Amino acid sequence: MPSELTLPYCLLPQRWDVLVAGGGTAGAIAAVAAAREGARVLVLEAQGSLGGTGTNAWVTPLMKNVSGGVNLNRGLTDTLKARLLARGDGSRDKAGNDNWFNPEGLKFVLEELLQEVGGEVLYHTNVVAPIMDGKRIESLVVHNKGGLQAIGADVFIDATGDADVAAAAGVPFQAGDEDGLHQAMSLRFSLAGVDLARLCTFLTEHGQWQESPQFMHFWMVWNKKSTLEPLFRRAIQGGVLLERDGDYFQAFSVPGRPGELSFNCPRIRAEFNDGADPWHLSGAQLDGRQGIERLLKFCKTYLPGCEDSYLGSVAPMVGVRETRRIVGDYTLTLPDILDCRMFPDAVCRNHYPVDIHSVKGGATLLHEREGAAPYFAPDAFHEIPYRAMLPRGVSNLIVPGRSASSTFEAQSSIRVQQNCHSMGEAAGVAAAWAVREYGGDVRSVSGEALRARLKEWGANL
């Protein structure tokens, strides 16, 4: 019988006011917001840069979240956009869409913002488990090159996207749809050396209008009337693509990277759909790289302007759309979205549609903005309450981002990056207040006062 293994860890002598687990889309912004409110903040991040899915999974651009012609996410999202624009790593198209950005530029901007407000980051560090004292988290055990260490703080923000901390702390959670299946993962990549002007002309002449080589977006999904469908059929007949490569194909231009396109594909095989399972993640990496090989060949063979193109980069992180969703003090539902539900403790407004990249069948993409519900009006939106970020059973933890408390359908709508920014900003302010005023109790923070503070910082609430 092997003896029971007890791994030693050392307790770091320093303590922080706020520890942020995961410096991704929501976490990096949460850290900036908390430090801006005067808290001592440390971000614990598994990768070597901030930004998470938006940078390390190469997910660009930001999805539009506009209602009545107005961006619904402002505050620190505006700051990010202004800085990206000033560096040439962001841009605004003729239609006024200012969501185009370069993921590599975003990494720099996020670090710059964090350091300006005195926040700190510990990279290449995995959060392993919380050490609990009743309903309070005392510290987080992390693993990095220093071995196992416990780091203490008063308030914790779980921005891992997978609710890693919350789940290990015993918070109830949901995951996947009614059958436990998650949204499909994708391994994003970029194609460099593209003659964008030629490709732009080709696409415009073939039924996919492009504003200019600087602002390109083209796509193919089976049975959605994409004009590229015949090309996909030919490529399948020619042995270049597989049938499932047409389940979702999409590409965008990237500011600051002339001649490069970012691909929102290949979609990973359905059997690998749980981004919180290391075996699924590894399978996704292998399957994705093979898919990228096929798509490269397709582009070079069938898309004018791509003949001399080459693989620019493969995202270091697999793109994970949905894993664990905490059960919080409030769970956002599809009727909340369709009925445009408002909340006194709102921290974010959303008009992005329900968008499920289903692994059941080829192209179950419910992206249409059609129907009789109030939500489908062009100036409609619903709100997300602070309570959706407060996990049941733990007193000093906040969970912003894609694992906030929501049903499968509702999550598919609120998960886009700008909403994760807004949730992160609110989590950061609330965490700093909970430390300063309430001994770390995040439920003592008034949702109404939080909302008012976010408005002072420029939020559209």
For strand 10-21 and strand 41-44, is the pairing parallel, antiparallel, or unpaired? parallel
> Considering only residues 34, 41, 47, 90, which one is a binding residue for ligand FAD as defined by CB under 6 A?
47
Residue among 9, 18, 19, 23 that touches ligand FAD (CB under 6 A): 23
Nearer to ligand FAD, 46 or 347 (CB): 46
Position 90 contacts ligand FAD (CB under 6 A): no
Interface with ligand FAD, residue 62, by CB under 6 A? yes
Q: Of the ranges 24-32, 342-350, 366-374, 381-389, which one interacts with ligand FAD (CB under 6 A)?
A: 24-32
Q: How far is the CB of 402 from ligand FAD (least distance, A)?
A: 4
Following CA atoms 400, 403, 409, 410 in sequence, which dihedral angle do they give, to the nearest 10 degrees?
-10
Q: For the segment 139-178, give every residue that binds ligand FAD (CB under 6 A).
A: 159-162, 164
Among the listed ranges 45-53, 72-80, 299-307, 360-368, the one in contact with ligand FAD (CB under 6 A) is 45-53
Instruction: Determine if 401 is a binding residue for ligand FAD (CB under 6 A).
Output: yes
Among 18, 44, 76, 454, binds ligand FAD (CB under 6 A): 44
- State the nearest-atom distance from the C-beta of 35 to ligand FAD, in Å: 17
> Binding of ligand FAD at residue 186 (CB under 6 A)?
yes
- Contact predicate 423/348, CB 8 Å: yes
Q: Is 54 in the site for ligand FAD (CB under 6 A)?
A: yes
**Least distance to ligand FAD from the beta carbon of 411, Å?**
9
Q: Is residue 284 part of the contact set for ligand FAD (CB under 6 A)?
A: no
Are the C-beta atoms of residues 60 and 38 closer than 8 Å to each other? no
Q: Per rule CB under 6 A, is residue 25 in the interface with ligand FAD?
A: yes
384 binds ligand FAD (CB under 6 A): no
Least separation in angstroms between CB 23 and ligand FAD: 5
Check: CB of residue 188 under 8 Å from CB of residue 266.
no
Task: Tell me how far, at minimum, the Cβ of 307 lies from ligand FAD, in Å.
Answer: 27
What residues numbered 241-270 form the site for ligand FAD, per CB under 6 A?
264
Calculate Rg over the CA atoms of the chain: 22
What number of chain residues touch ligand FAD (CB under 6 A)?
Answer: 37
* Binding segment (CB under 6 A) for ligand FAD, from list 19-27, 90-98, 225-233, 435-443: 19-27
Question: Which amino acid, one-letter code, is at 74?
Answer: R
Residue 459 Cβ, how far from ligand FAD at the closest point, in Å?
17
Q: Please give the residues from 314 up to 373 whose contact with ligand FAD meets the rule CB under 6 A.
A: 319-321
CB 426, min distance to ligand FAD, A: 13
Asked if 24 is part of the footprint of ligand FAD (rule: CB under 6 A), the reply reads yes
Site for ligand FAD (CB under 6 A): which residue of 34, 66, 127, 384?
127
Does residue 287 belong to the site contacting ligand FAD (CB under 6 A)?
no
Q: Is residue 405 a contact point for ligand FAD (CB under 6 A)?
A: no
Can residue 59 be called a binding residue for ligand FAD (CB under 6 A)? yes
Residue 41 within binding range of ligand FAD, rule CB under 6 A:
no
Contact by Cβ (8 Å): 101, 82: no
Q: Does 20 bind ligand FAD (CB under 6 A)?
A: no
3-state secondary structure the chain: CCCCCCCCCEEEEEEEEEEEECCCHHHHHHHHHHHHCCCCEEEECCCCCCCHHHCCCCCCCCCCCEECCEECCCCHHHHHHHHHHHHCCEECCCCCCCCEECHHHHHHHHHHHHHHCCCEEECCCEEEEEEEECCEEEEEEEEECCEEEEEEEEEEEECCCCCHHHHHCCCCEEECCCCCCCCCCECCEEEECCCHHHHHHHHHHCCCCCCECCECEEEECCCCCCCCHHHHHHHHHCCCCCHHHHCCEEEEECCCCCCCEEECCCECCCCCCCCCCHHHHHHHHHHHHHHHHHHHHHHHHHCCCCCCCEEEEECCCCECCCCEEECECCCECHHHHHCCCCCCCEEEEECCCCCCECCCCCCCECCCCCCCCHHHCCCCCEEEEHHHHCECCCCCEECCCCCCCECHHHHHHHCCHHHHHHHHHHHHHHHHHHHHHHCCCHHHCCHHHHHHHHHHCCCCC
Among 17, 53, 199, 406, binds ligand FAD (CB under 6 A): 53
Residue nearest to ligand FAD (CB): 24
d(C-alpha 158, C-alpha 138), whole Å:
14
- Of 110, 167, 268, 420, the residue at the interface with ligand FAD (CB under 6 A) is 420
Q: Is 26 in the site for ligand FAD (CB under 6 A)?
A: yes
From CA 129, how far away is CA 134, in angstroms rounded? 15
- Binding span for ligand FAD by CB under 6 A among 39-47, 83-91, 342-350, 370-378: 39-47
Rounded distance between C-alpha atoms, residue 416 and residue 39, angstroms: 27
Give the binding site for ligand FAD (CB under 6 A). Answer: 21-27, 44-47, 52-54, 57, 59, 62-63, 126-127, 159-162, 164, 186, 188, 264, 319-321, 401-402, 415-417, 420
